[in-house]
A and B are shown apart, each in its own frame.
Chain A
Amino acid sequence: MNLPAPSPGGDGRAPASAGGPSPLQRERARTIFQKGATSRRAFQCPPPDVPEADPDELLPARFRRREPPRLPEVSEPELVRHYVTLSKRNFDLDSGFYPLGSCTMKHNPRLHERAAALAGHARLHPLQDPERAQGALELMWRLQGALAEISGLPHVSLQPSAGSAGELAGVLLTRAYHEDRGEQRHKVLAPDTAHGTNPATVSMAGLEVVKLATDAEGGVDVDDLRVKADTDVACLMLTNPNTLGVFDANIEEIAAIVHGVGATLYYDGANLNAVMGLSRPGDMGFDIVHFNLHKSFTQPHGGGGPGSGPIATSERIAPYLPRPLVVRREDGSFALEHQRPKSIGRLRGFHGNYGCLVRAYAYICSLGADGLRDASEAAVLNANHLLARLCQKGVAEYLPLAYGRLCMHEFVLSGGPMKRELKIKTLDLAKRLLDHGFHPPTVYFPLLVEEALMVEPTETETRETLDAFAEAIAAILAEAAEDPAVAEGAPYSTPVRRLDEVAAAKQPVIRESL
């Protein structure tokens, strides 16, 4: 962990450049399409063991391309080297600390990978007759039960395949619930600390977002909520603890106001890692919850694998859940229940990202109820340990905590004083952290915090790692006090230096012509 960063210039700064990329850099910038030679192959197909079909019978000539696609033609060693080299250029959780706020980059136990890779799971066809997939259905049914218990809400659908898909499901459920009662409600309330996916989801569902202000403690401004909560409101979407790492202690009052106008209360489960086994959204008065199995329940994620965003609901929302649900019949066998007349329908093909479900179930079984609570307590303890280290002299005067004094599983610092006094921005600090071997925290979110730096260490990091990270931050600030240009030019040790984010946003090159 946190090995001294390799530094081309010896002191972490760039070597005097002779101009332009080095031969190695040029080689590494080549894509797979630029490698290889005509007719070189990594694989040879065996002769076909079925009669060859006439292409004209399969597809009329006018629909077929006239020239073969320009696919890469490379040998197996070239192919292996290309992808192994790419994999080494990536920063991943298996090689270093990754405290990306609200992303819960916790360790993914290898045991779960083994379970998910078992042939009975990995090779099960999604169209398998349910009578012959009883084991998989039982796992799904048991996972539904576990998630119901964790959330305090009795009905669960495992279908949504990401947190954002879970959110969309939640807003569609809310819409279906109101429409079924003959009401057209078009507004959804969301705090100004909300994840960007909340307003995006609301827009996708054809509803309108109304932002709620944040109070001095970092929670929902209850007075603002009172003003905005009316009978046009379909739903309040809330993350608790929120993106500031603050648990909203007014949640019962908030729930009473929202239910008082007939709206639903939606729990964004992004930050569930702070409260597993400690408090339950259902007990707080929420009607709908989405889980991020890929965050809280250990999955490779963040470019490393598919997500999974199951939802749990109260009784009054349950009739609208996506179909099919996994049910247990009276004889103890398991089935897919399609007959759900009020259902919002399917959100995706088949039954969700099944591999994620296996890993989440393995996690819940290996930790048990006590273990899940321990995990959340350790996540909160780790965040507070790191926060306490960063509240010390040399850091706190430049990177003060934005809200509150303690935090839940994550916290948000403001780089405002750092920008004014040390002349480096949060972006510069983040880039310089790469030279210390750390993935930077989330930056510039939530938007209401100036120069925000949002840190979520998770429970699976050691104290030594947390301390080393705090020391790296202190070292970068001390360095900036001497010479802000060092951080401004960072990173120096990564495969590529500072990216041109403007060009990346305006002129992205995302296609390779075949």
Chain B
Amino acid sequence: MAEASYPEDLLYHPEHDWARVEGEQATLGITWFAQDALGEVVFFEPPAVGTSVAKDAAYTEVESVKAVSDVIAPLSGEIVEVNGALAENPQAINEDPYGDGWLVRVRLSDPSEREALMDAASYVSSLAS
């Protein structure tokens, strides 16, 4: 994805993570800004299903040609599904960060946490500062 994009239907965390909340569950991933800053992603090893993730804490790592970077959970919960396709095709994180490049799906432990996240407009303005 060559041009920056920040879909309106997502919630954003200042550490450049997004969450798509659907009822009791949310899909998590990293933003266009994050994948652009990382450069080409070469490895992603998903955490195990059943692992707990805590808001604002690292739950996995992505490795790009530049660096290994922690991925921060925007919301707390338990992982119910991981994107296994990324093991073979991690560049999906670069090519389609909000679609095929999703990382994990979690069952939210505290859905009210979403109140602390930003909408697309706030996130974009935080990038400009």
Residues on A facing B (Cβ under 8 Å): 427, 443-445, 447, 450, 501-502, 505-506
For the complex, what is the distance from the CA of A506 to the CA of B43, rounded to whole Å? 8
A contact residues around B91 at 8 Å (CB): 502
- Cβ-defined partner of B42 (8 Å) among A427, A445, A447, A502: A502
How many whole Å from B39's CB to the nearest CB in chain A? 8
| A501 and B40 contact, CB distance less than 8 A | yes
Could you tell me if A505 and B66 are in contact, using CB atoms closer than 8 angstroms?
Answer: no
For chain B residues 40-87, which have a beta carbon within 8 Å of chain A? 40, 42-43, 63, 65-67, 69
Contacting pair A501 B67 (CB below 8 A): no
Contacts of B67 in A (CB 8 A): 444-445, 447
Chain B residues with a Cβ closer than 8 Å to the other chain, count: 11
| B contact residues around A505 at 8 Å (CB) | 42-43, 63, 65
Please, which residue of chain A has its CB at the minimum distance from the CB of B42?
Answer: A505
Closest 5 CB pairs of A and B: A505-B42, A444-B66, A501-B65, A502-B40, A506-B42
Give bound CA distance, A343 to B79, whole Å.
45
Closest to A419 in B: B36
B64 to chain A, nearest CB (A): 9
> Residue B37 at the A interface, CB < 8 A?
yes
Contact assessment for A447 and B69 in the assembled complex, using a CB-CB cutoff below 8 Å: yes
Given A505-B42, A506-B43, A450-B37 contact (CB < 8 Å): yes
Given contacts A502-B91, A505-B65, 20 further A-B contacts (CB under 8 A): A427-B39, A443-B66, A444-B39, A444-B66, A444-B67, A445-B67, A447-B67, A447-B69, A450-B37, A501-B40, A501-B42, A501-B65, A502-B40, A502-B42, A502-B65, A505-B42, A505-B43, A505-B63, A506-B42, A506-B43
Shortest B91–chain A CB gap in Å is: 7
Q: How far is the CB of A440 from chain B (nearest CB, A)?
A: 14
Please measure, in the bound complex, the distance between the C-alpha atom of A450 and the C-alpha atom of B36, giving whole angstroms. 11
Closest to B36 in A: A419
Q: Within the assembled complex, what's the spacing in Å between the Cα atoms of A427 and B66?
A: 10
In the complex, chain A residues whose CB is within 8 Å of the CB of B37: 450
Instruction: Report chain B residues within 8 Å CB of A445.
Output: 67
Nearest opposing residue in chain A for B94, CB measure: A502
Query: How far does the alpha carbon of A444 sit from the alpha carbon of B91 in the complex, in Å?
Result: 19
Q: Which residue on A lies nearest to B37, using beta carbons?
A: A450
Instruction: Name 10 A/B residue pairs within 8 A (Cβ), A-sorted.
Output: A443-B66, A444-B39, A444-B66, A447-B67, A447-B69, A502-B91, A505-B42, A505-B43, A505-B63, A506-B43
Q: How far is the CB of B41 from chain A (nearest CB, A)?
A: 8
